[in-house]
Structure 1
Amino acid sequence: MGHSRAAKAESRERVLRITARRVREEGMTRPGVADLMKEAGLTHGGFYKHFASRDDLMNQAAALALADGETKMAEAARQNREEPRTGLIDSYLSTRHRDAPGTGCALVTLGAAAGRGAAEVKEAYETQVRSYLALIGETGDGDDPDEAHADAILTLSAMVGALLMSRAVADPRLSDQLLRTVAERLKRPAVND
């Protein structure tokens, strides 16, 4: 790869990474191309050398933002070798995660956009949901795969919902309570009738 091709690839990757962070922070409708290119240290006029359209950039950035979360979730599960599910829950439902949407889970920010968005965004969103369900299912107890899958669905839904609400409410005490209560409830052992 020649220097100009390498530089172009590096510039494109920088724009994608910046856009992925901004998509996590603001969703898919807010970041403007001019602002994104400026933040990447590039001119607005060079945009079309890298992407076919704003939609193309947003779709690729959303897919990247979603995929980045998978690595972080797997790392969180590995933090507590004795109880990987607890490590995952504690990391996901932390104030640190809540307060850093730019590096956090894109399922929270992109849920509504994926529901209304292009097929490729929906597919990227679904891929990550399935991946997270598999990861959470691996961290659970029990021998029944159907029960493990159902528990993973409940766990992921509760975590995403709690994080979303904790970012959306104005009262910091309620925000903390949402994270803490859902984490405590999810970590309780299952009660068999």
Structure 2
Amino acid sequence: MPYPEGHKVKVRGRIIESAAKAFRSNGIRDISVPFIMKGAGLTHGGFYSHFDNKEQLVSETCSYAIRDTIALLQKAAAQAVEEPKIHAVIQFYLSPYHRDQTEMGCILPALSGEISRSSEVVRQVFTRELQQMIDFVSDLAEIDHSTGSALLSIMVGALVLARSVSDSKLSDSLLEAGKQQAKELIKKQ
């Protein structure tokens, strides 16, 4: 009996969602195809009917994860009532909740170090998606692209450091410092 129309697309989406969660939490190198497929509720034998190799999955997962993060940040911006929308994005991005929810959080702090050692194909996709994220914060804050790059760098850097330390007070202070510096950067514009 044939699968219903759209089945393969849905399964592919489940695999990418599973990969996004796994890569966000554990990086790329330490995650196997069988682990990703299990997370999608599938056996690893079906992987190659959806992807040529893990590199293709990584590329598509980077695209998916950035779009997913932008959608999440758009929701945060939409909830801003009495503050600028970019402030709501900064508040959410540098919140303890976002710091602690690595499996659903932004892929930039999770994978940037590892992507720098990936193939040129993966790096090109990551570069394109990073540009989308810079464009998003620049447009939302109504700032130039260079300042948007700096703003995103502050946010990602603060989150990386906050996730890296074992001292919860230091982690919280890194988030607060990142928020303060990000908002200060926007004021100067």
After TM superposition, the score normalised by the length of structure 2 is: 0.87
Contact 1:89 1:183 in 2 (8 A): yes
| Mapped pair 1:85 → 2:83 | no
1:3 counterpart SS class: coil
Match of 1:139 in 2: 140
- Shift of the 84–52 alpha-carbon distance from structure 1 to 2, 3 Å rule, reads same
Match of 2:183 among 168, 171, 187: 187
Residues 101-110 or 125-134, more deviating: 125-134
Letter aligned with residue 128 of structure 1: E
What runs of 5+ residues in structure 1 fail to find an aligned partner?
A: none
Match of 1:45 in 2: 45
Deviations 1:102-141 (A, max 9, x none): 1111111121222222233222322232222222222336
- Shift of the 61–134 alpha-carbon distance from structure 1 to 2, 3 Å rule, reads closer
Deviations 1:2-30 (A, max 9, x none): 62553333222211110111111111111
Contact 2:69 2:105 in 1 (8 A): yes
Q: Which has the larger radius of gyration?
A: 1
Contact 2:99 2:159 in 1 (8 A): yes
| Mapped pair 1:178 → 2:179 | no
- Shift of the 12–131 alpha-carbon distance from structure 1 to 2, 3 Å rule, reads closer
> In the TM superposition, what are the counterparts of 1:149-168 in structure 2 within 5 Å?
149-168=145-164
| Mapped pair 1:115 → 2:116 | yes
Letter aligned with residue 105 of structure 1: C
Provide the C-alpha distance between the structure 2 equivalents of 1:128 and 1:44, rounded to a whole number of angstroms: 28
1:16 counterpart SS class: helix
Match of 1:21 in 2: 21
Say how many residue pairs are matched: 186
What runs of 5+ residues in structure 2 fail to find an aligned partner?
A: none
Provide the C-alpha distance between the structure 1 equivalents of 2:5 and 2:139, rounded to a whole number of angstroms: 42
Contact 2:66 2:133 in 1 (8 A): no
> In the TM superposition, what are the counterparts of 1:67-86 in structure 2 within 5 Å?
67-81=67-81, 82-86=83-87
Residues 177-186 or 34-43, more deviating: 34-43
Provide the C-alpha distance between the structure 1 equivalents of 2:134 and 2:91, rounded to a whole number of angstroms: 17
2:116 counterpart SS class: helix
2:51 counterpart SS class: coil
Contact 1:93 1:180 in 2 (8 A): yes
2:132 counterpart SS class: helix
- Shift of the 21–152 alpha-carbon distance from structure 1 to 2, 3 Å rule, reads same
Match of 2:104 in 1: 103
Match of 2:61 in 1: 61
Provide the C-alpha distance between the structure 2 equivalents of 1:138 and 1:49, rounded to a whole number of angstroms: 39
